[in-house]
Structure 1
Amino acid sequence: MVNVTFKQNPVTLLGKEVTVGDKAPDFTVLSNDLKPVTLNDSKGKIRLISVVPSIDTGVCSEQTRKFSQEATSLGDDVEVLTISVDLPFAQARWGATEGVSNVQTLSDHRDLSFGEAYGVVMKELRLLARSIFVVDKDDTVTYVEYVTEGTDHPDYDKAIAAVNELTK
């Protein structure tokens, strides 16, 4: 079990911890236009899934911008998904304000489907714990990072390297 804190306070993660080698659990989240999106919608692509507590905060915004910048060099076989419990309208507004369009922002606010499937729901806050998952074209998890302090940045370089390994 992963131990995570948020602002130095311990939180309880709900759901099953995902590890390297696992079959990526399916989920249903909402796109900015309120359409359901599942893991299967990007089948056959490499997925970099960036999970943030709230896109409107400093570290989360920076994390999403960073992966957006990297997305341009990762190639057409890679989908970059950012998932939070923010409302789809807030995610769309953030993307328009920030000029970020090459990352798909997805909302897990409705039923925490992604959060529970990947073990990232912070029970005390009803937010998702900062984490990164890389899923290959065959839906196998090849990289996982549960960031142990929710206000810290993930290891961007390791996540990008994990994606690049799959594009060779």
Structure 2
Amino acid sequence: MQDTRIDGPELIARLKLQPHPEGGYFREVYRGDALVRRDGSEETHSASTAIYFLLCDGAYSSWHRIRSDELWHFYAGDPIHVHVIDAKGALTTLKLGNALLHDDAVFQAAVKAENWFVAECIDPSGIALVGCTVASGFEFSEFEFADSAALETLYPQHREFISRLAPR
């Protein structure tokens, strides 16, 4: 059951969202002015970034990872699952949603750097508006789509799950 009525096309237009390569729609809404260097690199990038992210029409965020921690924030709509596979192969599912309406949901959930993860509406016909804050800031050069076959080889216990949410 949807806790806040939202409309995908209206939000896409109102928030000026664009298709995201991993699925869904997004728009960067913040890129901090402070610059940082990662692990001795000479290259600098923003200390923090934030986006709106919309899942609707059966879209999901396919398996990927980034080099920074990512904090997910729930804004409106239906609850989502953020599925995370850590380096040891442990699968964790976080339920992001309105914690006032869904006992087992949280308003915020963190995904650690370098972990493989995906996000999907729990109800495939659902719609969810969330935000993602990345520190140090997100750069597409530090974004990696999963090679599904390689991920299934590394974590055969999650083969069917990995294949269902593979990059399109």
User: Max radius of gyration: which structure?
Assistant: 2
Shared fold by TM > 0.5? no
Structure with more relative contact order (C-alpha pairs < 8 Å, separation 6 or more)? 1
Question: Normalized against structure 2, the TM-score is what?
Answer: 0.28
